Protein backbone atom coordinates (compact mmCIF):
# COMPACT_ATOMS: atom_id res chain seq x y z
CA UNK A 1 0.00 0.00 0.00
CA UNK A 2 1.50 3.39 -1.00
CA UNK A 3 2.22 6.00 1.61
CA UNK A 4 -0.45 8.74 1.71
CA UNK A 5 1.76 11.72 0.84
CA UNK A 6 4.47 9.88 -1.09
CA UNK A 7 5.53 11.16 -4.48
CA UNK A 8 6.45 8.66 -7.16
CA UNK A 9 8.69 9.33 -10.09
CA UNK A 10 8.53 7.46 -13.31
CA UNK A 11 11.14 7.39 -16.01
CA UNK A 12 13.02 5.41 -18.57
CA UNK A 13 16.56 4.09 -18.63
CA UNK A 14 18.47 5.05 -21.75
CA UNK A 15 21.45 3.14 -22.99
CA UNK A 16 24.40 4.64 -24.78
CA UNK A 17 23.04 3.23 -28.05
CA UNK A 18 19.71 5.06 -27.69
CA UNK A 19 18.89 7.67 -30.32
CA UNK A 20 17.19 10.90 -29.27
CA UNK A 21 15.87 13.75 -31.38
CA UNK A 22 16.22 17.46 -30.75
CA UNK A 23 12.59 17.58 -29.63
CA UNK A 24 13.17 14.58 -27.30
CA UNK A 25 15.98 16.39 -25.47
CA UNK A 26 14.02 19.62 -25.37
CA UNK A 27 11.01 17.88 -23.88
CA UNK A 28 13.00 15.78 -21.39
CA UNK A 29 14.70 18.81 -19.90
CA UNK A 30 11.84 21.29 -20.39
CA UNK A 31 14.03 23.72 -22.32
CA UNK A 32 13.52 25.45 -25.63
CA UNK A 33 14.92 23.65 -28.68
CA UNK A 34 16.96 26.79 -29.35
CA UNK A 35 18.85 26.21 -26.13
CA UNK A 36 19.74 22.66 -27.21
CA UNK A 37 20.97 24.14 -30.52
CA UNK A 38 23.13 26.57 -28.52
CA UNK A 39 24.64 23.64 -26.58
CA UNK A 40 25.45 21.95 -29.91
CA UNK A 41 27.03 25.13 -31.31
CA UNK A 42 29.32 25.39 -28.25
CA UNK A 43 30.36 21.75 -28.53
CA UNK A 44 28.57 20.62 -25.37
CA UNK A 45 26.40 18.17 -27.32
CA UNK A 46 27.30 16.30 -30.49
CA UNK A 47 24.84 15.53 -33.23
CA UNK A 48 25.35 11.98 -34.50
CA UNK A 49 23.04 12.18 -37.50
CA UNK A 50 22.29 15.31 -39.49
CA UNK A 51 21.10 13.88 -42.81
CA UNK A 52 17.52 13.38 -41.64
CA UNK A 53 14.89 16.06 -41.23
CA UNK A 54 15.75 16.32 -37.52
CA UNK A 55 19.02 16.14 -35.60
CA UNK A 56 19.69 12.88 -33.76
CA UNK A 57 21.75 12.45 -30.59
CA UNK A 58 23.27 9.38 -28.96
CA UNK A 59 22.36 8.27 -25.45
CA UNK A 60 25.50 9.94 -24.06
CA UNK A 61 23.95 13.31 -24.97
CA UNK A 62 21.31 12.74 -22.31
CA UNK A 63 23.96 12.55 -19.58
CA UNK A 64 25.91 15.52 -20.95
CA UNK A 65 22.77 17.63 -21.31
CA UNK A 66 21.73 16.85 -17.74
CA UNK A 67 25.13 17.89 -16.37
CA UNK A 68 25.29 20.98 -18.59
CA UNK A 69 21.86 22.22 -17.60
CA UNK A 70 22.60 21.64 -13.90
CA UNK A 71 25.82 23.65 -14.19
CA UNK A 72 23.85 26.47 -15.80
CA UNK A 73 21.02 26.36 -13.30
CA UNK A 74 22.85 25.63 -10.05
CA UNK A 75 26.07 27.56 -10.61
CA UNK A 76 24.94 30.20 -13.09
CA UNK A 77 27.61 29.23 -15.64
CA UNK A 78 27.05 30.43 -19.20
CA UNK A 79 27.13 28.00 -22.14
CA UNK A 80 30.80 28.57 -23.11
CA UNK A 81 31.73 28.05 -19.45
CA UNK A 82 29.66 24.87 -19.34
CA UNK A 83 31.56 23.54 -22.37
CA UNK A 84 34.88 24.21 -20.63
CA UNK A 85 33.68 22.73 -17.31
CA UNK A 86 32.50 19.54 -19.03
CA UNK A 87 35.82 19.19 -20.83
CA UNK A 88 37.72 19.57 -17.56
CA UNK A 89 35.44 17.11 -15.74
CA UNK A 90 35.99 14.53 -18.49
CA UNK A 91 39.76 15.01 -18.35
CA UNK A 92 39.69 14.56 -14.58
CA UNK A 93 37.64 11.38 -14.94
CA UNK A 94 40.10 10.02 -17.51
CA UNK A 95 43.08 10.80 -15.26
CA UNK A 96 41.41 9.02 -12.36
CA UNK A 97 40.78 5.93 -14.53
CA UNK A 98 44.41 5.91 -15.71
CA UNK A 99 45.64 6.24 -12.13
CA UNK A 100 43.52 3.28 -10.98
CA UNK A 101 44.22 1.08 -13.99
CA distance 71 to 65: 10
Cα-trace Rg, the chain: 16
| Domain interval for residue 67 | 19-100
> In this model, does residue 95 exceed pLDDT 90?
yes
CA distance 57 to 54: 10
Identify whether 7 is part of a domain: no
Q: Which DSSP state fits 5? A: T
SS3 of residue 25 by DSSP: helix
Identify whether 11 is part of a domain: no
**Per-residue pLDDT reduced to its tens digit, 51-70:** 667 889 998 898 899 999 99
**Per-residue pLDDT reduced to its tens digit, 28-49:** 999 999 999 999 999 999 998 7
- The total number of structural domains in the chain stands at 1
pTM for the whole structure: 0.76
Amino acid sequence: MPLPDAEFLSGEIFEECAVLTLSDLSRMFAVDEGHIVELVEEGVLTVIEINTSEWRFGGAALRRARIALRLERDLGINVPGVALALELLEELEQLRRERQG
